[in-house]
Amino acid sequence: MYIVDSYSLAVVFCIITMLGWGSWANTLKLTPSKWEFPLYYWDYSIGLVLTTLLFGFTFGSTGNEGRSFVTDLTQADISALSSAFIGGVVFNIANLLVVAATAIAGLSVAFPIAIGLALVIGVTVNYLAVPLGNPVILVIGIALVVAAIIVDAFAYRRLPQEKSGDQKKGIIISIIAGVLMGFFYRFVAASMTTEFANPVTGLLTPYSAMFVFSIGLFISNFVFNTWFMYKPVTGGKVSYTDYFKLGSPKLHLIGILGGLIWGAAMEFNLIASEHAGYAISYGLGQGATMISAAWGVFVWKEFAKAPKSTNKLLAAMFVLFILGLSLIVIARVN
């Protein structure tokens, strides 16, 4: 299996993660209003599973170090498999809520609040489990990210709302999603060996852990996404018939592309975790909040109707995020 051999390369991989996690939701924005997000999400989950298989049979099955993809899966014990699977289930409900919040409030609001909160919780939980990096610098970095989240929420409140209650609904869903999102990574990390070249028997390596994670997401989709289909938090009710009746090949490919982008980003993140440490690897990857906010502000013009003075709040948000993420990277160097 392919293994990262330096911290600098691990940081590069985490930056790729950040770009991917911050950009995949653009595929949702490309779908028409008739294609409600639960329908999109089925294709997203399929794309995610296919991506893990692609990585498993390529990067995960080459090289002389570690265990190959199939060998790694077959030797894993039930606790490791269960942990990675649960990680996929927890992520799934969190991500569905993020997608719902994006549909209500936009990329520049849902991601900074939900994923920013997930960053704070995830970095803390993963550092306590595997303490790599300077804790003081990490805490300061996290504090700056929290400040960025608060500033973004204030900016969002300055937007005119088309429906009464949209502001509150978008923020509440984002917060719930962020809390859940903050814990999924720990389950995946707990299923993995910390030394990839000489993996511990019974535990998984990044490629196999990611595959089991994707299966947990896909199977739980029949519960969680079905609920969103028939009891939507936004948009209209849809059915399984609509998935086949309304979906064109182009629409299905857009959703699959979204899953491919997120899944590839997660693969790079797990591969980087050996040298970066789980806390920093996850924290830097969740710099996706800044990337998604940039898409929402500069490409999708989600704040076009806000007062001009809102631009100062948005600028402050980006500065706080950049400073916070920089300190998270520096924490491991020191």
The pLDDT score that the predictor gives to residue 164 is 47
Percent of the chain surpassing pLDDT 90:
56
The pLDDT score that the predictor gives to residue 161 is 61
The DSSP-derived string for 163-197 is: STTHHHHHHHHHHHHHHHHHHHHHHHHHTB-S-SS
Helix locations, the chain, DSSP H: 7-23, 26-29, 37-57, 69-75, 78-105, 107-129, 135-156, 166-190, 206-230, 240-246, 249-276, 278-285, 288-294, 310-333
Which residues, listed in sequence order, are joined to residue 204 by a DSSP beta bridge? Answer: 192
The pLDDT score that the predictor gives to residue 25 is 84
Does the structure show a pLDDT above 90 at 292? Answer: no
Mean per-residue pLDDT over the chain, rounded: 90
Does the structure show a pLDDT above 90 at 117? Answer: no
Q: How confident is the model at residue 37 (pLDDT cuts 50, 70, 90)?
A: confident
Phi/psi of residue 95, each to 5°? -70, -35
Q: How confident is the model at residue 167 (pLDDT cuts 50, 70, 90)?
A: low
Q: How confident is the model at residue 229 (pLDDT cuts 50, 70, 90)?
A: very high
Average pLDDT of the segment spanning 46-50? 98
Does the structure show a pLDDT above 50 at 87? Answer: yes
Does the structure show a pLDDT above 70 at 61? Answer: yes
Q: How confident is the model at residue 303 (pLDDT cuts 50, 70, 90)?
A: confident
